[in-house]
Structure 1
Amino acid sequence: MALNGWCGGSCGNEKKCADCRLDQSIPCSPNCENLTQDGMINLKKCFADGCEEPKYIFGMPEATAEEIIARFGAIAPYF
């Protein structure tokens, strides 16, 4: 998946990602363990890691993490 600012690192922990804004700032970057091979996102872990991005992914920017998890589940389809 090509995303602006993502260089393919592991959750921003690789040296090659030193200049990659997305890898550095989002615990749910596309190569992260919070995203599964089968197209799911571990919302509970993602929020626990400090990622706010799922609020926008699920179109609920004003909702709390708990509200989103209650609506979609701890592990939800990533759409």
Structure 2
Amino acid sequence: MKRITFQLRPPASATRSPCDRCRRPSFGGMTCHDCLGKDLADLVQNRGAVLRWEQSLRALVQDERTVLMYAARRSVD
């Protein structure tokens, strides 16, 4: 789950290279979040739970970016 979290961070935070399995862009050329998600879904035998978790994680990342943006605006005032 930590590796998926790492792969779902904002694109501007690091360089991307092809996934070592599917060749889609991923951070550091490691396994991308889609391939890792498939592995996790197979492990827990519940794709729906993994998809819901990934969606909530994406929302968390977006909310964090929004909060930090507003904080940066306040620090300029």
Question: TM-score if structure 1 supplies the norm length?
Answer: 0.25
Please state which structure has a larger fraction of its residues in helix.
2
Question: TM-score if structure 2 supplies the norm length?
Answer: 0.26
